[in-house]
Amino acid sequence: MKNNTSIKFDIVKSPTTKITSVDFENLTFGATFTDHMMICDYENGAWKTPEVKPYGPIELDPSAKVFHYAQAVFEGMKAFKDDHDKIWLFRPEDNFNRINISSKRMAIPEFPAEYFFPALEALLKLDQAWIKKGFGNALYLRPFVIATEPGVGASPSTKYKFMIICSPVKGYYDGEVRVKFSDKFSRAADGGVGFAKAAGNYGAQFYPTALANDEGYQQIVWTDAESHEYLEEAGTMNIFFRINDTLVTAPTSDRILDGITRKSLIALAGDFSIPVEVRRVSVAEIINAAKDGTLKEIFGSGTAAVITPIQGFGFKGEKYELPVLTDSYATFLKDKLMKIQYNLAEDKFGWRYEVK
Ranges within 82-141 binding its own copies (CB under 8 A): 104-107, 140
Q: Which of residues 188-227 bind its own copies (CB under 8 A)?
A: 188-193, 198-207, 210, 225-226
- Kindly tell me which residue out of 9, 151, 253, 280 binds its own copies, with binding defined by CB under 8 A: 151
HSE of 85, CA atoms in CB hemisphere, 13 A = 3
CB of 162 to its own copies, least distance (A): 11
- What SS3 class is residue 46? strand
Between 48 and 68, whose beta carbon lies closer to its own copies?
Answer: 68
Residue 20 contacts residue 130 (beta carbons within 8 Å): no
Q: Is there binding between residue 163 and its own copies (CB under 8 A)? A: yes
Q: Is the dihedral of CA 276, 274, 349, 38 positive or negative?
A: positive
CB of 65 to its own copies, least distance (A): 8
Residue 138 contacts residue 29 (beta carbons within 8 Å): no
Dist CA 96 CA 138 (whole Å): 19
Between 146 and 333, whose beta carbon lies closer to its own copies?
Answer: 146
CB of 232 to its own copies, least distance (A): 11
When computed from its CA atoms, the radius of gyration of the chain, rounded to whole angstroms, is 21
Stretch that binds its own copies, among 46-54, 89-97, 178-186, 326-334 (CB under 8 A): 178-186
Q: Give the binding-site size for its own copies (rule: CB under 8 A).
A: 71
Residue 125 contacts residue 134 (beta carbons within 8 Å): no
Between 19 and 60, whose beta carbon lies closer to its own copies?
Answer: 60
Q: What is the 3-state secondary structure (H, E, C) of 88-104?
A: EEECHHHHHHHHHHHHH
Dist CA 343 CA 83 (whole Å): 9
- Kindly tell me which residue out of 1, 2, 13, 150 binds its own copies, with binding defined by CB under 8 A: 150
Q: Which of residues 27-86 bind its own copies (CB under 8 A)?
A: 28-31, 33, 37, 39, 55-63, 65-72, 74
